[in-house]
Each structure stands twice: as C-alpha cells, then as structure tokens.
Structure 1
Amino acid sequence: MNHQQALTKYIASFVAELIHAGVKDVVVSPGSRSTPIAMIMAEHPDLRLHIHVDERSAAFFALGMAKASRNPTVLLCTSGTAAANYFPAIAEANLSRVPLLVITADRPHELRDVGAPQAMDQVNLYGKHVKWFIEMSHPEGSKEMLRYARTVAGRAVATALSSPAGPVHLNFPLREPLVPDLTSENIFIMPEREKGYVHIEQGRLALNENQLRSIANELNEHKNGLIVCGEIDHPTFANAITMLAAKLQYPIIADPLSQLRSGNHEFVHIIESYDTFLRNDDAVSHLAPDVIIRFGAMPISKAFSLFMKKNEQVPQFVVDGGEGWRDPSLLTTNMVYCDEVEFCESLLPLLKENQDTLFLEKWQQMNEITKAALFRVKENESLSESRLFYELVELLPDGATLFVGNSMPIRDVDTFFFNNQKSIRIMANRGANGIDGVISSALGAGTVHKPMYLVLGDLTFFHDLNGLIASKLYHIDLSVIVLNNNGGGIFSFLPQASHPQHFERLFGTPLDLDFEPAVSMYGGTFSRVSTWMELTSSFEQTLAKEGLSVIEVPTKRDENLQEHRNLWDYVSREISRNLRGES
C-alpha cells in the first residue's frame, strides 16, 4: 500500500465514523495542507459542505449552526494562522456550551520548528478553551490504525456532545503528496463493523432519591421562593419548569435566552420586566425571597445581579446538568449536578402544594405595573432603540428565530421583549459576550431555522461584514435590523461617560459608514428608514423576500440614554407610589 492509498483509507475511516456518530455539516476554509481531508469529506454523500474563506467568520458560522441544531458541526482549516483565526469562536463555544469539532491540518513533525512555511505550534493551540485535544498519528493504512482513526472520531463527537457540550480539537499532521486516491468505487465502505465502530450511549445526570428528598424537604419549608432561569437550551425545559413553579407557587425570573418568554407553555409564573423594577430600592426590599433555585447561566440583567447580592444570606440552589460552576457572585449554597429537566420532573412528586400565593402575587403585581409603565415607549414618535424591541414582539412572525447582538441590543431585549405565545426562539453569543462573529453566527443558525432575524448595532455589524458572504454563496435567508447610532451606545450607560474629555475618541468610536454599498456587494437589499411606518413597511417586505435584507434604523446615542433614564425613573416613581399606597 503506497502513501496515497494509506492516507485515503485512514482519513476515509475517520470521516465515515463521524457520519456514523451523527455529524452532518462541515465548514471548510480552503487551504493546501488540509487537502486530503477536504477532498475526502467532499466525496461523502451524507455530508453538507459549506466553504467559507474567512476563518474567523467560518468558525462563528459553524458555531451558529451547532447552536441552532444542537449537533456538532465540523470546522476544517489548513495549517498556520488559519487555525488561530478560529480562536474567538472556540472560546465562545466553550463558554456557551456549543458542540464543535475543530480539525486543523498541520505540518508533519519533521517540518516543525525548522523554519518551514505556514508552520506554527498547533499542539494544544486552544489550551483550556477546548474539552479535549488530540494530536492524531500520521496516516497509516494498517488495520489497527484504521480502528484508531474510527475510535477517535466517535470519541470526539461524544466528547463534544457530553454535558457540558463544547469544542474538541483534533490536529492532523499530514505529509505530501496531499492529494488522496479517489479512484476506488467507494472509499467509505468499512468491512469491519460497517454500521459504526463504536456506539457511545449518553444518559442524563440524575440525583438519587435521598438527595431529592433532602432538597424537597428544604423547599417545602420555604413559601417565598424564587426560580431564576438564565440562558438554557433544552426543548422540554419550559414545560418542566412551569410545572415546578406551579407546585411551589414561586415566580420565575425569565431571562430572554431562557426560551421562556415565547411559546405555548404557561406564563402565569413568568416574570419578564424584573430588570426595570429591581432598580427601585422599595421593590427590592418588598420582594426579598427566602430561597432561590437557579437554572442555566447567570441572567443578563445587572439589576438582578445586584438584587442577588442584597439577598446573599438566602439559600441558593444552582442546578447544572453540565457540572460547571456558574456562580460569578459566589453566593451559591447548594450546587446541584443534575439534568435540569430531570431535576424538575423527579422533584415534583416529592413537593407539597404551596397554598400561599402572596409572594407570587407581589412579583406579579410589580411585573404588571412595570409593563404598563414601559408601554409608554410606544408613544415615542421618533425612531428609538427601546421602542424597536417593544415593536418586535408584534412584527416577528410566529416560529421565527431572533438572533441578538451584544452590548445594548441584548439588554433592550431583556427590558422590552415581553411574554408572548409566538414560539420565538431568541439566540445570542453570551459566552464571551463579544461583538465579533455575530453576523456569521446568525447565518449559521439560519441554515437550521427559518425565518431568521438579526438585530445588532452598527459596530457589531461592521465587525463581521465578511460574514455576509455566506448568505450570497448559500442563499441563506436573513433579515437584519442595524441600529445605527454611529458608535458604541452601551458606553453612554457606563461610568466613563461622565469623563467627556476623551470619551468620544476612546469609547464612542463613531464610524461614519454608509453600509448600503457593502450590503449590495454581498447581493443583499438595503433600506434606511426614518419613521415607524417605514420600518413596519420595510419589515413586512422582508417576509416575502429571499436572501439578505438589511434595514438600517438611525438613532442617537444621547437620546437613547435619556429615554432609558426617563423610563426607569417613571417606573420607579410608579412602583414607590403603589407600595406606599398612594393613588
């Protein structure tokens, strides 16, 4: 067996096992050293290949695809700095628990550290940002090495999927010649265990009965409990958590990424306007819980984080099926390693019916007062970021997916996107909270979910303009709303805004860009609106369009800041007046 035949058999065995393990999508960035892997993957009829020249955008594209599908996406690139460009998305995948299989081609060992071109140290390149790293052996065609390749493939997929999900890195040293031998009739036929070399069964992490009874007994002693749900992605979680809340009569703090603000589940216990009313000291004192149960990542809201710190003496149960340590405030008293749905379902029969609904009613009252006050945002006749997110609840069609940029957009979703029954899935890159790769992530998710909408700021849009190429190449439908306040709007809300001398140059960072030519270059349609009527009309037109549509909504940073402050002040006055019994 010559080198080309051995290379082909080895990589074909690896690829075949990936498919057996459930992989369906590969994002390839073109390069020379990865030639044999790319060509063999292209040969497999059950793999969908997506070619993306820009490695940074490619990685976020794969991230969005994996996040939306909950299935590992493969990333493939050549050696050298191509692999380094994957780093931001890998960090995001690790922190947000998204399964990725990162395959980097590399120089063989004899060409390392000797000045060979396009060579850098790729061993453990991503450090602790991946769940598992393996330096693959040089390709060989022996029976034992084909077993090795298949076993590693199966193990890599299982590791990426095992809770907490995350990225896995496989580094392939490859010698020339790099072109595989594709003359065989079917290079993927595996005579030994043709239906997959190794099947890996994964179950849900669970507690034993004694552990569950102990938790149930403690919760039965607390009538004024609070359930907190941050970002969590579990298809059956909404029904499980609302049933638990109904038994305990606890209100549910529902972060927009908890997927609890939209759907066909019960909304009686779901509180969505907490970020506004917890800015009021009277409300904070009025709503103090005696126990907290938390699921998922920490909520976005800073007001809620401060509320937690003011109740640091309260027992706090953090339920995490990924066995992580999601406790940035260092307030957890009980870390519970159990699948979140399993926890709710198993605990339910052990709990007593809580007949005392007074605490729940306090939270519900604050929520209704706040929402009624926030509805004033619709009176703003000029274009505003606050009203936009209020309007989105009505504008988005049932079953849509909304991808949200970081900085102010995700915070405005938290404040103004109220409960609804439209089954809208809200997504964002909240692992590392970066503004990089958001367009690419949304487009990757758009290969799985339709219709897909993206709302982001002008800096975030600029940061990933290269990502728009995926829409043009693969005819991915994406409707984008760019909130253009000509700079970094979130900094106006931060302490440095009170130091104007260098603020605009260091933090405001106005770009003064016209995005229309860039959108046109990528084959999209562009509109710039100046009224709410124009926005509604442009949005409705996107419903009938295919491909890329971008709507620019010009806003002003100073007016946005003032509008938020006016709303917060008005809500605070209404809450204090209500709590003091004033009419």
Structure 2
Amino acid sequence: MTPSSALAVVLVDELVRNGVRDVVLCPGSRSAPLAYAVLDAERSRRIRLHVRVDERSAGFLALGLALASGSPVAVVTTSGTAVANLHPAVLEAHHAGVPLLVVSADRPHELRGTGANQTTAQPGLFGSAVRWSADLPAPVIRPGLPPFWRSTVCRAVAAALGTVGTAGSPGALPGPVHLNVSLREPLVPDAVASRWPDSLDGRPDDAPWVSVTARAAQPAGPDLPALERTLVVVGRTRDPRVAERAVAWAAERGHPVVAEPFGPRSVRSAALPHGPLVLTATDWVERHLPDRVLVVGRVTLSRAVAALLRRPGVRVEVVSEGGPWPDPSHVAAAVHPPSVLASASGGVADHGPAVPSSTAADPRGSASHLGAWAQGWRRAGQALADAVAAEPFPWPSGLAVGGAVAASLPPDALLVLGSSNPVRDLDLAAPGPVAGDALANRGLAGIDGMVSTAVGAALAAPGRPAYALVGDLTFLHDANGLLVGPDEPTPDLTVVVVNDDGGGIFTTLEPGAPERAADFERVFGTPTGTDLAALCRAHGIRHDRADDRDEFAAALAARPAGIRVVEVRVDRASHRRAHAELRALAARTLLD
C-alpha cells in the first residue's frame, strides 16, 4: 500500500470508529487516495457515500445531514479553491453549532509558497470559525502506522461534537473542524488492494483509538473500571484540586502515585518517594509493569514517565480538565472528565472547596490495603529513598542544590521553578514534597520571563516565604525582572541561581554525548561569563554566593526579605555524569 493510500485508509477507518456514518465527496486529483478509501468503506457498508461536483453544495449537503442527525458528517475535497468553497457552510456550522468535519486534501508542505499548481495556504483558511484544526504532513511509511493519524481524528470528532475534554468548558458548543491532509504521489492505490488495517495495538476492532467521555451531567461521574495494577501519574493541573483529588482517589483504591514536583504539597506527599527516579530503573519497571497508567494533568518533565507511557501493553487513560487532552505520544485509549475522580467518601473533582495543602490528610495512611503489586512499588520507592539518603550528592552539583532546596524550605513556602536543568535536578533528588505550593510556567516550559513570574507570584502571596529556583541562562534571560521602581511594591523573594555558565541541560541530552564534544560549546554550551554579583549590584539587589552546603542551608533558612539572589556555582561538565550515576544507583538498588 502506498503511503498516501495508507493514510487515507486509516483516516477513513478512524472516522467510522468515531461514529461518522455519512461522507460527502467532491471529485479531485489530490484527494484521490481519500476517494478510494471512502468508496471502499461504502462497499463494506461502513458509511453512506454522497458524491457532489460542486463544493459549495457539498458543504451544505453535509451540513444538512449533520443538522438533522446530530452526528458528525465529513465533507472531503481536493486542494485549492475547492476548500475555500466550503467556507459558507463552515460559517453556518460555526454559528449554528453543527458538527461538520472538513477533510481537505493538500499538496506536500515543500510545495507551499513555490507557485505550484493548485497550492495555497490551506491551514487556517477558516480562521476562528472552526473549533479545532490540524495540518497532517505528507506520510512516509515506516514499520507500523503512526498512532497520531488515528488520535488526530479522535480529537477532531471530539471537538466537532463539543465533547468536554477537547472543546472547552461544560456545555461546549459543537461545530466545524478542519483536517488538512497533505498527500504525495502516487495518489492511486498500488496493485495490492486497499484493506482496513487489522491491528489497533490490541484495541477492539470496532472502537476508536481514543474513547472520549463527556463531562458527567451530575457532579459525581461514574467510577473508572477497576484495574488492580493501576499507576497514577500526576502532572501539572490547572486546578490544584484535581491533583489533590487524584491522589485521594488513588489512595482509596490502593494505587501507587508518581507525581511531578508541581502543585500542592499534599500531592507529592502522597506519591511514591523518588517516583520519577524509580521509573529510570527500566529492568525493574519491566518486571512490575502496570496494566493501566492513569495520567492526570500535563506531564512535561520526565523522560522516564514518557517512556513508560509508550510501553507496549500498558493501557494509558487520561483525565482532562478541558481543552486538548494531554497525550503527546498519541497512546491514550480513553479520556475522562475530572468527575471520574469522585471519592467513595463523597469528594468530587469539580465541586467543593480544595483541601488546604498544609492540612490535607496523607493518603499513604491507607497503604495497609494495598495489593502485593502496589506494595512492591511502595517498597521500591522507599528503598530508593534510603539509598539516596545514604549517598549524599557531591557539592557543588545541580542534584545537591535541588535536594537541599527540597529539604530546607518551610512547609508553607511558595516555590517557583524555572525550566531546564534545576527543576529536573530537584525532581530526581527530592524524595517527597518540596514546598507548600510549587508553581512553574509549564504551558510551554520556556526559560523566558521566569524572574518576573516569580516576582508576581511572591507579590500575590504576601506573608508567605517565596523562593525561586532557576539556572543562570533563565536568570539572565529575564534580568529586567529585577527592575522594581521605588514607588512599587517589592516582594519578599529569594532567587536561587544554579550558575553553570551556560546551557547545562544540553550536557544531559544527546548533544552532550562525549563524541559530540567538538561542536558542543559553541552552539549548545553557550557560556556567557556574566558576573551575576555585578549585575545584581547594578539593580540594587542583594547578592550572596554559597560555596558550601552550610552557607547554602543558612541562605535558605533566612526568611526572605526583599529580593535576594543566592548564587551557587556548578561545573557544567558534572551534570551528565551525576545523572548517570544516580540512574545507576536506582538500577542497583532495585535489583530483585
């Protein structure tokens, strides 16, 4: 099967699995693979096909079918002006709330902007009139079909239906979506007849790649199906209460929890000690794989967590707060609203006050009812915590700074975490909670604006000790955040800067491999040699350098008063070795 035919067959197959029963097709050359695919689907009695030669009429025909049935209907066109002729129907669907799926064929990306025939900028053509859109690149077939082909269709249908978890808040309005599909020659099937892919990675043959559950009408939604070997992974949630109720839900059912270091203190308190580090012991994880991983919030920090979610045979389900559900690897089998996290004791994910971080009950108290598998995860976390405590991280190192921050901050502290290496060092080094609340800009996880973000967070929490943990490039990128006018309120904030003179995170990634050392410093290491003390003096900001553990502990122990910068200098070359040694310690500790 040619790459374009394979993509077309998969997309049409997934449309059917998501409930599409009518497809309106307009003739065209670039859309030929889609035409053959919908024709095969009609012959298999999986859809009803309607062919029209005028795209404007075709759009309104699809609109009428969807308006009367309430089901999503697809209209398929070729490239160029054919797509633009659907605009009137798209606008009507937008304002009337009708689930219309526009599937437009397009030329390959490399032909855009070159004067190629029938080639224009089709992505974004409908502007704000569509609920959601995607621009699929021209396919290249490798072993196995890319899962994002299927999950993209699932997102499109969910958005068209206004299913909460994709299109927004409760009662989100259905409407049009746009799937723009680039197709490269050959555009007709080869000698082997098209057939429906017979493998969905172990999923039911008639089920969509992702099953999306709408937000429950009642405050308490249905409980999730029971699976004893369930691991709950908690990332950053927009509403901290969702994360808190996720760990409470897990504790009631005896499920172990791995949590990133964001959100309320109670969440990390309830999680496995050194949970992200446990996941780096891949041999141990292979012998103790969960049947299901329930992901709550966006998981953006740990490669080990991402690797677990991609493990064959592990069912991944997502709890989404609304908007596009988090699933960057396109592995989710089901998406649920937060109402599924209703607790047996009556707590609900969407209603009622949040449990304050400082007074939340520790769900680990219910560990007595854990099954043998879950107890194995708990023992692994504790064994690793004991092993790490017995071998303190060398000073100075990023891991030592991260561990000290986690151990030294007062329980009511507010901690703002910058992106890049420091937050990862803290995540790996800290066995448990790191502060009363840990905040971060994880929407895009950039290094820009972090000093100003920390200043704003500190000003929003007067009376609470506020801290920030950032790297030197993150600090320098927003040095203007130190500019506070004489008539402006000044926060009480201690900014810890791990200064490794450049892009330390790259030493832990592929560009930092020893065999690539010749090119590293210029384009990845990027040392600046900036004198941070002089920079702080220029802004009238107190600067202290902590050259040993005791000096650093004393700096953290002093309650923040005004803006203060505490600098710890670290050898950038030490990061890669330190992380490798920590992973080796985890692997040795968890041999069984």
**Residue equivalent to 1:425:** 437
Q: Verify the 8 A CA contact 2:261 2:438 in the aligned structure 1.
A: yes
Which residue in 2 is equivalent to 1:488? 503
Change in 2 beyond 3 A, CA 1:348/1:537: closer
Matches within 5 A, 1:288-437: 288-310=289-311, 312-336=312-336, 338=337, 340=338, 342-345=339-342, 357-378=371-392, 380=394, 382-420=395-433, 424-437=436-449
After TM superposition, list the pairs within 5 Å mapping 1:11-160 onto structure 2: none
Q: Deviations over 1:419-440 (max 9, x none)?
A: 24x8521111111111111101
Q: CA deviation at 1:539?
A: 2.8
Q: Which amino acid aligns with 1:487?
A: G
Map of 1:234-249 to 2, 5 A cutoff? 234-237=239-242, 239-249=244-254
Q: How many angstroms apart in 2 are the aligned matches of 1:302 and 1:408?
A: 13
Partners of 1:538 and 1:551 within 8 A in 2? yes
SS of residue in 1 equivalent to 2:290: coil
The range that moved more, 401-410 or 530-539, is: 530-539
Q: Is the contact between residue 251 and residue 271 of structure 1 (CA under 8 Å) also seen in structure 2?
A: yes
Counterpart Cα distance in 2 of 1:288 and 1:571: 17
Report the Cα distance in structure 1 between the residues aligned to 2:258 and 2:408, rounded to whole angstroms: 25
Query: For residue 260 of structure 2, what is the aligned residue in structure 1?
Result: 255
- Over 3 Å counting, the alpha-carbon distance change for 1:163 and 1:448 in structure 2 is farther
> Equivalent residue for 2:468?
454
Whether the 8 Å contact between 2:238 and 2:321 is mirrored in structure 1 is no
Q: TM-score, normalised by structure 2?
A: 0.57
Measure, in 2, the Cα distance between the counterparts of 1:308 and 1:296. 14
Change (3 A) 1:277 1:418: closer
Whole-Å separation in 1 of the counterparts to 2:477 and 2:219: 52
CA change 1:379–1:410 in 2 (3 A) is closer
Q: Which amino acid aligns with 1:435?
A: I
2:297 touches 2:321 (CA, 8 Å); kept in 1?
Answer: no
- Please state if 1:557 is matched with 2:562: no
3-state secondary structure, aligned to 2:518:
coil
- 1:505-516 alignment, distance < 5 Å: 505-516=522-533
Q: Name the CA shift for 1:562/1:471 in 2 (closer, same or farther; >3 Å).
A: farther
Q: Of 529, 534, 538, which aligns to 1:517?
A: 534
Shift of 1:540: 2.9
Report what 1:43 is aligned to.
none
Q: 1:138 matched to which residue of 2?
A: none
Structure 1 or 2: more helix by fraction = 1
Deviation of 1:233 after TM superposition, in Å, equals 3.9
Alpha-carbon distance in structure 2 between the residues aligned to 1:231 and 1:272:
18
2:480 equivalent to 1:479? no
The Cα of 1:475 is off from its aligned counterpart by 1.4
Q: Is the 8 A contact 2:262 2:439 kept in 1?
A: yes
Structure 2: how far apart are the matches of 1:210 and 1:476?
A: 39
Shift of residue 512, structure 1, vs aligned partner: 0.5
Deviation of the 1:489 alpha carbon: 0.6
Write the distance in 2 (CA, Å) between the matches of 1:565 and 1:266.
Answer: 24
Tell me how far apart the structure 2 counterparts of residues 209 and 538 of structure 1 sit (CA, whole Å).
Answer: 50
Shift of 1:206: 3.7
Instruction: Tell me the distance in 2 between the aligned counterparts of 1:400 and 1:470.
Output: 22
Pick closer, same or farther for the CA change 1:277–1:512 going to 2, 3 Å: same
- Contact residue 443 and residue 470 of structure 1 kept, 8 A: no
Distance 2:423 2:274 in 1: 14
Separation in 1, partners of 2:277, 2:438: 20
Distance 1:243 1:428 in 2: 23
Per-residue deviation, 1:377: 4.9
Q: Name the residue aligned to 2:216.
A: 207
Does the CA contact (< 8 Å) of 1:470 and 1:476 recur in 2?
Answer: no
Report the alpha carbon displacement of residue 559 of structure 1 after superposing the two structures with TM.
2.1
Q: C-alpha displacement at 1:354, in angstroms?
A: 11
The answer (yes or no) to whether the contact 2:300–2:442 under 8 Å persists in 1 is no
How has the CA–CA distance of structure 1 residues 297 and 321 changed in structure 2, closer, same or farther, with 3 Å as cutoff?
same
Name the counterpart of 2:585: 570
Counterpart AA for 2:315:
P
1:75 aligned residue: none
The one of 234, 244, 259 equivalent to 1:229 is 234
State the SS of the aligned residue for 1:570: helix
* Offset, 1:237: 3.5
> Is the CA contact (8 Å cut-off) linking 2:410 and 2:435 kept in structure 1?
no
Distance (whole Å) between structure 2 residues aligned to residue 347 and residue 293 of structure 1: 18
Q: CA separation in 1, counterparts of 2:248 and 2:546?
A: 44
Is the Cα–Cα contact under 8 Å of residues 317 and 333 in structure 2 kept in the other structure?
yes
In structure 2, how many angstroms separate the alpha carbons of the residues matched to 1:398 and 1:211?
32
Amino acid aligned to 1:531: D
**Percent of pairs with identical residues:** 27
Q: RMSD of the alignment, in Å? A: 3.1
Distance (Å, rounded) in 2 between the aligned partners of 1:303 and 1:495: 15
Aligned equivalents of 1:408 and 1:321: distance in 2? Answer: 28
Deviations 1:150-175 (A, max 9, x none): xxxxxxxxxxxx759xxxxxxxxxxx
Distance across 2 between alignment mates of 1:428 and 1:323: 19
Alignment check: 8 A CA contact 1:274 1:304 kept: no
CA contact (8 A) 1:229 1:258 kept: no
The residue type paired with residue 394 of structure 1 is A
Aligned counterparts of 1:409 and 1:426: Cα–Cα separation in 2: 13
* Residue type of the alignment partner of 1:229: V
Aligned to 2:550: 533
CA offsets 1:234-283 (integer angstroms, 9 cap, x no match): 34345522331122211111111143xx23x794x522423222222321
Unaligned runs of 5+ in 2: 1-123, 133-167, 171-213, 348-366
The separation in 1 between residues aligned to 2:485 and 2:430, in whole angstroms, is 27
Which structure ranks higher in relative contact order (CA pairs < 8 Å, sequence separation ≥ 6)? 1
Distance 1:301 1:540 in 2: 29
1:173-225 superposed Cα distances (whole Å, 9 cap, x missing partner): xxxxxxxxxxxxxxxxxxxxxxxxxxxxxxxx841579944x54x22xx2111
Distance 2:520 2:452 in 1: 30
| 2:293 match: secondary structure | strand
The 3-state SS of whatever aligns with 1:481 is: strand
Tell whether the 8 Å contact from 2:458 to 2:466 is kept in structure 1 after alignment: yes
Q: CA deviation at 1:393?
A: 2.6
Corresponding residue of 2:481 = 467
The DSSP-based 3-state class of the residue aligned with 1:406 is coil
1:299–1:271 distance in 2 versus 1, CA, 3 Å: farther
Residue 279 (structure 2) pairs with residue 278 (structure 1): yes
Deviations 1:92-132 (A, max 9, x none): xxxxxxxxxxxxxxxxxxxxxxxxxxxxxxxx9xx98xx99
Secondary structure of 1:467 counterpart? helix
What's the offset of the Cα at 1:316? Answer: 2.4
Paired with 1:480 and 1:527, the residues of 2 have a C-alpha distance of 10
Whole-angstrom CA distance in 2 between matches of 1:505 and 1:322: 42
